[in-house]
């Protein structure tokens, strides 16, 4: 099977499995922990820490970002270190954008919550209902996996989501690309971009970039707004 046909087959199988049997809460928690620890294997520069075909260190260009920021040392750091048994987890059900963050933002800055919410929803739902040459495709499962994987890298867990879907739908080269774009955008290369979903249209891959950026922004907002809420209470 081609990369595209294999992905569509996995999406179909996931939907059928979901209808037949749902994973238990314990299984879903275990799958999240596995995915969270695995995300630590993708290290700075978009290199997969374990042996494999997806190593892009030969294309990494050192970028001087000091002209754009006051503190060039400020940037993404993994929320946990490899080897730790108990990695910190932000349970989304305890502090969600819809139920908590949205209202607090509106209190702090009138109407900004509505604008942010509209932006998040628009990008999350953005689709042509296509996958390369295939039309009338429901891409909801795939878009949810992309969004939740970004939040997983930031230690955010959704109790009602089965993270086994992430591992089945997002191959290694795509995970490398996701972490590099989301956490180290200045190190992204064309080779990384070309390495995943080779049969897809550029416009569809641009949708992926938009979704990754909005997922990252919402994750950062959740942490910041939760801290403000705790301070106010």
Q: Where do the H-state alpha helices sit in the chain?
A: 3-20, 25-39, 102-108, 112-124, 140-153, 164-169, 172-183, 190-195, 202-232
Instruction: Identify any residues that bridge with 47 across adjacent strands, giving them in sequence order.
Output: 43
CA dihedral 222, 227, 231, 233 (to 10 degrees): 50
pLDDT in tens, 148-175: 999 999 999 999 999 999 999 999 889 9
Tens of pLDDT, residue by residue over 4-23, are 999 999 999 988 877 667 77
- Smallest CA-to-CA distance from 225 within 87, 45, 99 is with 99
How far the first Cα of the chain sits from its last, in Å, is: 55
pTM of the model: 0.86
Structural domain count, the chain: 1
Residue 112: the pLDDT is 94
Give the domain extent around 139. Answer: 3-232
Regions in the chain scoring below 50 on pLDDT: 44-46, 48-61
Give the whole-angstrom CA distance, residue 200 versus residue 173: 15
The pLDDT of residue 77 is 74
pLDDT given at position 66? 65
């Amino acid at each position: 099977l081609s990369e595209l046909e294999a992905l569509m087959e996995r999406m179909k199988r996931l939907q059928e499995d979901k209808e037949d049997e749902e994973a238990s809460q314990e299984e879903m928690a275990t799958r999240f922990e596995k995915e969270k620890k695995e995300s630590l294997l993708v290290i700075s520069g978009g290199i997969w820490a374990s042996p494999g075909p997806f190593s892009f260190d030969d294309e990494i260009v050192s970028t001087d970002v000091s002209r754009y920021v006051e503190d060039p040392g400020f940037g993404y750091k993994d929320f946990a270190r490899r080897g730790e048994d108990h990695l910190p987890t932000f349970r989304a059900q305890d502090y969600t954008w819809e139920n908590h963050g949205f209202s607090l933002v509106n209190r702090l800055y009138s109407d900004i919550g509505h604008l942010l919410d509209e932006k998040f929803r628009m990008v999350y739902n953005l689709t042509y209902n296509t996958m390369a040459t295939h039309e009338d495709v429901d891409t909801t499962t795939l878009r949810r996996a992309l969004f939740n994987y970004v939040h997983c890298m930031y230690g955010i867990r959704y109790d009602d989501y089965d993270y086994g879907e992430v591992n089945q739908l997002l191959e290694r080269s795509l995970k490398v690309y996701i972490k590099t774009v989301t956490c180290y955008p200045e190190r992204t290369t064309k080779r990384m971009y070309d390495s995943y979903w080779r049969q897809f249209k550029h416009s569809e891959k641009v949708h992926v970039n938009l979704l990754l950026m909005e997922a990252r922004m919402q994750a950062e907002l959740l942490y910041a707004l939760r801290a403000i809420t705790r301070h106010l209470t």
